[in-house]
């Protein structure tokens, strides 16, 4: 069987060489240029080689060889289709994640989209000074308000905070410390030097995304179960 395979390859190479030698002086082989013919000959020889190897491996199990070949063709076509529509598939995957994962953010240029959580609120995953922070949209809060733990995670100097600002929380009236956050990023939307407050320990269950951030945006709106935040170009 190996001798037959070698003979097939040798015959193919000889035929290709003879045709190349017979080309005219203008570098053409029939309607093809020499380079085009060489590429075609290479692909034909490769096909002959692969076919011969498959036949050698499967011998009398030709139907299995055909089935295996068709399977690989199907896999190849699926990969080509997936690559061709990779951006659309990525967008679909993001929208599925918005529904399944509370706080997941989908970015569309300078606009980000967040879905309402099962509790009816907009849970948002933000990055404050590079630290991942879970927040809740609160349009009634005049400022971004961080829990002490989130403030520590964001690298704020807790030991020098001065709690001088009166705020209302679910636990009643308390005091908070004014700070300036270097950066708040939600998806691809980033705002810098954002005024914020840090609540006293135990006074706030979740950090709040308030108006000191929202007022920095070009627009924000709630449409059904979707929150849309749009930054300036």
State the CATH number of the domain containing residue 167. Answer: 2.40.70.10
Judge if 98 and 79 occupy the same domain. Answer: no
pLDDT band at 25 (very low <50, low <70, confident <90, very high): very low
Neighbours of 163 (CB within 10 A): 16
32 — phi, psi (to 5°)?
-105, 150
Q: Which residues contact 214 (CB under 8 A, 6 or more apart)?
A: 139, 220, 229
SS3 24: coil
Phi, psi torsion values for 160, nearest 5 degrees: -110, 10
| Total of domains in the chain | 2
Of 37, 59, 84, the residue that ends a domain is 84
Long-range Cβ contacts of 34-37 (<8 Å, 24+ apart): none
- Same domain flag for 65 and 42: yes
Q: Do 74 and 104 belong together in one domain? A: no
pLDDT score of 156: 96
Measured distance CA(170)–CA(117) in Å, rounded: 19
- For the segment 20-29, the average pLDDT, to the nearest whole number, is 49
**Which residue among 61, 84, 107 closes a domain?**
84
Q: Among 57, 84, 111, which residue terminates a domain? A: 84
The predicted-structure confidence for 38-77, as pLDDT tens digits, reads as follows 566 666 666 666 666 666 665 556 566 666 666 766 666 6
Shared domain for 114 and 80, answered yes or no, is no
Does 134 map to a domain? yes
Q: Which domain holds residue 28?
A: 2-84
Residue 89 lies in a domain: no
Query: What does the pLDDT average to over 74-83?
Result: 61
Total length of the chain: 233
């Amino acid at each position: 069987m190996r001798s037959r395979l070698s003979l097939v390859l040798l015959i193919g190479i000889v035929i290709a060489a003879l045709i190349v030698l017979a080309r005219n002086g203008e570098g053409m082989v029939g309607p093809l240029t020499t380079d085009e013919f060489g590429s075609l000959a290479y692909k034909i020889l490769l096909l002959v080689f692969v076919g011969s190897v498959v036949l050698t491996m499967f011998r009398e199990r030709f139907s299995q060889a055909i089935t295996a070949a068709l399977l690989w063709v199907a896999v190849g076509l699926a990969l080509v289709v997936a690559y061709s529509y990779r951006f659309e598939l990525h967008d679909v995957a993001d929208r599925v994640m918005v529904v399944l994962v509370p706080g997941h953010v989908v970015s569309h240029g300078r606009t980000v989209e967040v879905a309402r959580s099962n509790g009816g609120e907009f849970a948002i995953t933000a990055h404050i000074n590079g630290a991942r922070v879970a927040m809740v949209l609160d349009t009634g809060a005049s400022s971004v308000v961080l829990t002490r733990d989130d403030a520590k995670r964001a690298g704020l100097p807790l030991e020098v905070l001065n709690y001088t600002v009166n705020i209302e929380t679910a636990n009643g009236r308390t005091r908070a410390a004014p700070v300036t956050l270097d950066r708040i990023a939600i998806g691809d939307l980033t705002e810098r030097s954002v005024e914020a407050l840090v609540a006293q320990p135990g006074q706030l269950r979740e950090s709040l995304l308030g108006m000191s951030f929202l007022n920095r945006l070009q627009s924000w709106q709630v449409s059904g179960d979707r929150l849309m935040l749009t930054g300036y170009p």
